[in-house]
Amino acid sequence: MSSTSSNPSIPNIPPPTAPWNPTPVSPKPRGLRKLHSTQALSQSAALNVPISAQSRLRQQRSVSAFHKDSLNNQLSAISSSRPFGRARSNSDASTKGPPTVALPIRRGAGQSSLPTPTTTPKSLDIMLRHVPAKNEIPLGIQEIKTLVLAHGVPSDSDGMSTSRIYLWLIFLSAPSLPTDNYLGLIHRGPSPAYSKIRNDTFRTLATDPLFRRRVSEASLIRLLNAVAWRLHDAKEERNLSTKNQSAITTLAEASPELHPVFNFIPSAKHARGPPTATTTEGSEAGSAEPGTYVQGMNVLAAPFLYAARSEVEAFVAFHRFLTEECPGYVRGAMEGVHRGLSLVDRVLAIVDPALSAYLLSKGMQAKLYAFPSVLTLCACTPPLPEVLHLWDFLFASGAHMNVLCIVAQLIMTRDAILESPSPMKVLRSFPPLQASKIKWLAISILDRIPNGLYDEIVDHAK
């Protein structure tokens, strides 16, 4: 999908004929660990997530404008307290000099809803190990997010951090999962998507030595196969529920004398409502559910396995991310990805009209060069440690900010693009990630886009 992974147009390769081995041994098995405070924070946050996708979308549309202003004020306060804040990120946006577009952040009249961090990055471990009182959990999560946005997550030169996976679990409101449940999915054997998974796993970040040294292909196969089983089961449950509801509706219409009996069945009560309302709600709820596997999920799963300290942690975080953050990315036609590509074009046209016009004059829409970056949240672009730092920012501020991060990369590369008679040669593989510059430039872009467009960015992956 880029210089470090496969291109999305790679032809299908017949799956290996090797028999299914449910528990191949990884080169470096990792122990199963957990933090009680992490579970308390993530599970408490999960209680605030609406059950249905339809209600979640309604809630997000109603608060997205407030979220934008709150995030903008928060990041403005953070950047003003940093000696290397927003001003430097703008000056370093281009490899050959400052960008030609000025992207200031409007300070806004309201006060930031989140406090400016006063602690050091080292206190992240202390905050993770401290279990706050129940009424203090929301504030604790906000403080952790603010700290990550301001300082990032401390890690070594390989991008490894003992706290990163727990922070991701908290930001994703991921529930805890008994190890036996994960093992049960593995021991079920090949999922219906197993052959597709085997076609992709061997080429996942194939040229990245850090990933290949830490994560085995067997581990990646187990994770993707377990996720495919979980998504397959959810799909089967939805299909069965739809059939049962349809049968009850038909019987209720054919047998009016049984209506008193149907009144005691919740699904029957719903089924006896207006047919148009039933169809609409069912279709919207169903459309928000992901498929079982699409090409590119292997690259999207790679950072989770690299950062996690066990496969169970990676599974919980990855499954939660797919089903809650970007179900539209892995649905059959990947409509969420295509909406994201359209948004990249629209945002670029607002923040850098000259660059946008030049690319369009060459027939280059975002769908021709940004598909892997949208689908994988830039995980297809090396180096991997920078991917992890960028994901820290995305999970703390919202994964939808990836759209702005891609526009930021285009602005950082604008000189090379404008000087090239064939820009596709420049954008065939994006330049190496520079997470710090990308995130601060994305923050400055945030204030340049109207609230209506930001609402679409928030919703595009649902």
Amino acid identity of residue 1, one-letter, is M
- CA 333 to each of CA 172, 225, 330, 336, 344: distance values in angstroms, whole numbers, following the listed order: 25, 20, 8, 9, 19
Q: Is 259 within a domain?
A: no
H helical segments located in 47-178? 53-80, 86-91, 123-129, 137-151, 164-171
Nearest to 437 by CA among 107, 155, 87: 87
Q: Which burial class, exposed, middle or buried, applies to 103 when counting CB atoms under 10 A from its CB (0-12, 13-18, 19+)?
A: buried
φ/ψ bin of 103: left (φ > 0), alpha (ψ from -120 to 50), beta (otherwise): beta
pLDDT at 131: 74
pLDDT at 332: 76
Q: Is 237 within a domain?
A: no
Is residue 405 within 8 A of residue 229, CB to CB? The reply is no
Q: Is 130 within a domain?
A: yes
Domain of 171, in residue numbers = 36-229+291-459
3-state secondary structure of 136: helix
pLDDT tens column, 100-148: 333 333 333 333 333 444 444 457 878 877 777 788 888 889 889 999 9
pLDDT at 80: 47
User: Cα–Cα distance between 382 and 405 in angstroms, integer?
Assistant: 15
Q: Is 18 within a domain?
A: no
Is the predicted pLDDT of residue 94 greater than 90, yes or no?
no
User: Cα–Cα distance between 140 and 187 in angstroms, integer?
Assistant: 38
Q: Is 453 within a domain?
A: yes
Nearest to 379 by CA among 310, 458, 326, 323: 326
User: Cα–Cα distance between 74 and 446 in angstroms, integer?
Assistant: 12
Q: What is the largest CA-CA distance in the chain?
A: 79
Q: Tell whether the torsion through CA atoms of 84, 85, 91 and 96 is positive or negative.
A: positive
pLDDT tens column, 13-53: 444 444 455 444 444 444 444 444 455 555 555 544 433 44
pLDDT at 453: 96
Of the pLDDT bands very low, low, confident and very high (cuts 50, 70, 90), residue 238 is: confident
pLDDT at 78: 53
Q: Which residues contact 279 (CB under 8 A, 6 or more apart)?
A: none
pLDDT at 132: 78
Total domains, the chain:
1
Between 377 and 85, where is the model more confident? 377
Q: Is 261 within a domain?
A: no
Is residue 149 within 8 A of residue 397, CB to CB? The reply is yes
User: Cα–Cα distance between 354 and 359 in angstroms, integer?
Assistant: 9
User: Cα–Cα distance between 427 and 344 in angstroms, integer?
Assistant: 14
pLDDT at 257: 56
- Full DSSP string of 17-54: -PPP-SSPPPSS-------HHHHHHHHHHHTTS-SSHH
Q: Is 273 within a domain?
A: no
Token readout for 292 is 């079982």
Of the pLDDT bands very low, low, confident and very high (cuts 50, 70, 90), residue 436 is: very high
User: Cα–Cα distance between 411 and 102 in angstroms, integer?
Assistant: 11
pLDDT at 260: 53
Residue showing tokens 């953050």: 325
- Span 53-82, average pLDDT: 51
Amino acid identity of residue 82, one-letter, is R
Is the predicted pLDDT of residue 373 greater than 60, yes or no?
yes
Which residues, in sequence order, are bridge partners of residue 97?
Answer: 94
Q: Which residues contact 132 (CB under 8 A, 6 or more apart)?
A: 37, 40, 41, 139, 140
- CA 399 to each of CA 147, 263, 390, 418: distance values in angstroms, whole numbers, following the listed order: 17, 42, 10, 29
Between 6 and 201, where is the model more confident? 201
Is the predicted pLDDT of residue 389 greater than 60, yes or no?
yes
Q: Which burial class, exposed, middle or buried, applies to 137 when counting CB atoms under 10 A from its CB (0-12, 13-18, 19+)?
A: buried
Is residue 168 within 8 A of residue 391, CB to CB? The reply is yes
Of the pLDDT bands very low, low, confident and very high (cuts 50, 70, 90), residue 441 is: very high
Q: Is 302 within a domain?
A: yes
